[in-house]
Amino acid sequence: MSGEELARRLGCSRAAVWKRIAALRRRGYRIDGRRAGGYTLAAMPDRLGPAELAPHLQGAWRRIHWFEETDSTQRVARDLARAGAPEGTAVIAERQTSGRGRLGRQWHSPPGLNLYCSVLLRPPLVPGAVPQLALVAGAAVAAAVAEETGARAAIKWPNDVLVGGRKVAGILVEMDSEMERVHHVIVGIGVNLNGPRSSFPRDLRTKASSLRAETGRRVDRAAFTGRLLAAFEARYGRFLSAGFESVRAEWEAFSCLTGTEVRVAGPDGDVAGRVLGLDDDGALRLAQPDGSTVRIVAGEVTVREGYRVR
C-alpha cells in the first residue's frame, strides 16, 4: 500500500507513516518499500506480542500481557488477578527465568522457541471442581497440537500432552479460593514448539521433546497460540454450561493410558493398577489385582515396564 493511502486511512501525515514504518522495522518487521509499489509487509518477527497475535485471535480472550522476559507468567497472572483483571486475561512471555512445573518442579523456558502462557479464569465453581479444569485445558492443548501440526497428540493423565511418546506440553493449575468459593484460577500452559532436542537439558531428552523435533516442521508460534486460546475458550465455555461430560469423550479419545498398567505416586503413597478410564469428576479409575477399583484424584503416573504410551 502506498504511503499516501496509509496516511489517508490512518488519518495522519505521510511523515508520521514513515516514522511508524521505521519503528516497526526496528522491531523486526520486514517492510519492503518501493517508490511505485508502496509498502509491502514481507515478514513479521517471530514474537508473541499483542500485535503479532492480533491476526490470530478468534474469541473473546484478547487481553494479552506480553513480556520479553519474566520470572513466571503464573506470578504475573496472579498479580493481575489480585488487581482485578478480567477473565480471559492472558500473560505470555518469550522467556521465563523461574518457570514453574507441577509438583514443585522447574519448567525449562528458553527464549523465543516455545509458548509460555497463563490464562486467568474466574469460574463459578466450588474448589473441588477445579481439577476438572486442568483436564479441560489438556483436551484443548491436545486438540490445538493435533490441528496445527497434524501430529497424533496424546494425553497422559492428568494433563501432560505427548507426541511420539514424549512430553511436549504441560499444564499447571493454581487457584485462590475460600472453602466454598473460588476467587480465581490461573491455568499455566507450556508448549515446546520449535526447540531442537539439543535445547533440552540432558536429563529431559528421553522424556521431553518439541513439536518441531517430533514432526520435522517449524510451528508458527503466533498461529498456534491463537488456535490454543480459541480451543481452550470454547471448551471452557462448554464445561461451564454443560459440565465435564461435554469434554470427557474428547479427553478419553486423546488418553494414552487406558488399558495400561501404571503406578501412581500420590499424596497417600503408591498405587498400582490397570487404567480403566476417567470417573465423572475427572478422577482416574484403576483396576487393582484383587478386582477392586480405586479412584485417584491426584498424583504422578508412571507407565509400568513393558508398556509404551503411543
Footprint of ligand BTN on this chain (CB under 6 A)? 72-74, 96, 99-102, 105, 107, 116-118, 160, 170-172, 188-190
In angstroms, give the least distance from the CB of 19 to ligand BTN.
35
Q: What is the torsion angle, in degrees rounded to the nearest 10, for the CA atoms of residue 186, residue 218, residue 142 and residue 108? A: -40
| Number of neighbours of residue 293 by Cβ within 10 angstroms | 11
Residue closer to ligand BTN, measured from CB, 189 or 247: 189
Residue 126 in contact with residue 183, Cβ under 8 Å? no
In angstroms, give the least distance from the CB of 95 to ligand BTN.
11
In angstroms, give the least distance from the CB of 230 to ligand BTN.
18
Measured CA to CA, the distance from residue 258 to residue 253 in angstroms comes to 10
In angstroms, give the least distance from the CB of 171 to ligand BTN.
6
- The amino acid present at 294, given as its one-letter code, is V
**Cell numbers representing residue 259 in the block:** 488399558
Residue 233 in contact with residue 118, Cβ under 8 Å? no
| Number of neighbours of residue 21 by Cβ within 10 angstroms | 17
In angstroms, give the least distance from the CB of 50 to ligand BTN.
17
Residue closer to ligand BTN, measured from CB, 173 or 278: 173
Residue closer to ligand BTN, measured from CB, 153 or 172: 172
Number of residue whose CB is nearest ligand BTN: 170
Residue closer to ligand BTN, measured from CB, 187 or 247: 187
Measured CA to CA, the distance from residue 82 to residue 193 in angstroms comes to 30
Residue closer to ligand BTN, measured from CB, 3 or 131: 131
Residue closer to ligand BTN, measured from CB, 94 or 160: 160
Residue 116: name the closest of 170, 60, 163 by CA: 170
Residue 84: CA atoms inside 13 Å, Cβ hemisphere, count? 0
Sign of CA dihedral 181, 300, 153, 210: positive
Residue closer to ligand BTN, measured from CB, 6 or 208: 208
Q: What is the torsion angle, in degrees rounded to the nearest 10, for the CA atoms of residue 187, residue 224, residue 92 and residue 137? A: 0
In angstroms, give the least distance from the CB of 168 to ligand BTN.
10
**Cell numbers representing residue 270 in the block:** 503408591
Cis? peptide before 123, omega within 30° of 0: no
In angstroms, give the least distance from the CB of 288 to ligand BTN.
27
